[in-house]
Amino acid sequence: MEVRVLGAQDIALLQNVTPGLFDHPVRPDQARAFLGSPLHVMAAAIAGGDLVSFASGTVLLHPDKPPGVFVNEVGTRESHRRRGLARAVTEALFAHVRAMGCNGIWLGTEPDNVPALALYRALGGAEQVIAGFGWDGAFDLD
């Protein structure tokens, strides 16, 4: 099992991921754009040439603040859960963005997502209740 941050050279790995890890099939145009941008980061656990867990984030820039990071998603194949992989890829993501000079990492999850809450609490995150607002299907689950 290898845990590392993906780069543009990993496009084939991302495009050929076995179905079931991401919510939808990987779109080649989006995969290239994601891996080709320094503002998008994905740490992944790789087993047998396939992704089994990932944590992705987006670097947020603003003129009056240092760069921060929004964690987009953390996911692990059902067959590989409860092995510490979500923690490993999230820690790899955090280490990478901190080394990039990012200051302030945040994310959101549903209040009933018990596994995610356990992971983020175990990672020492400061829990904050916030109101979320979405437009144009931002909170649609499919």
pLDDT at 141 over 90: no
- 69 is a domain residue: yes
pLDDT of residue 26: 96
Residue 89: name the closest of 6, 24, 30 by CA.
Answer: 6
The pTM assigned to this predicted structure is: 0.93
The structure tokens listed for 104 are 């302030």
How does the average pLDDT of the chain come out, rounded?
A: 95
pLDDT digits (tens, 9 = 90+) for 56-93: 999 999 999 999 999 999 999 999 999 999 999 999 99
- 133 is a domain residue: no
Radius of gyration of the chain (CA): 15
- Could you please report the per-residue DSSP string of 30-96? HHHHHHT-TTEEEEEEEETTEEEEEEEEEEEEETTEEEEEEEEEEEE-GGG-SSSHHHHHHHHHHHH
- 129 is a domain residue: no
- Report the alpha-carbon distance of residue 42 to residue 130 in Å, rounded: 25
Query: At 106, which helix (H) or strand (E)?
Result: strand 105-106
- Report the alpha-carbon distance of residue 33 to residue 116 in Å, rounded: 27
Q: How many residues does the chain have?
A: 142
For residue 95, the domain's CATH number is: 3.40.630.30
- 61 is a domain residue: yes
pLDDT of residue 137: 87
Mean pLDDT in residue range 17-42: 96
- 142 is a domain residue: no
- Report the alpha-carbon distance of residue 84 to residue 65 in Å, rounded: 33
Mean pLDDT in residue range 27-55: 97
Domain that holds residue 6: 2-122
- Report the alpha-carbon distance of residue 66 to residue 100 in Å, rounded: 11
- 40 is a domain residue: yes
Task: State how many domains the chain has.
Answer: 1
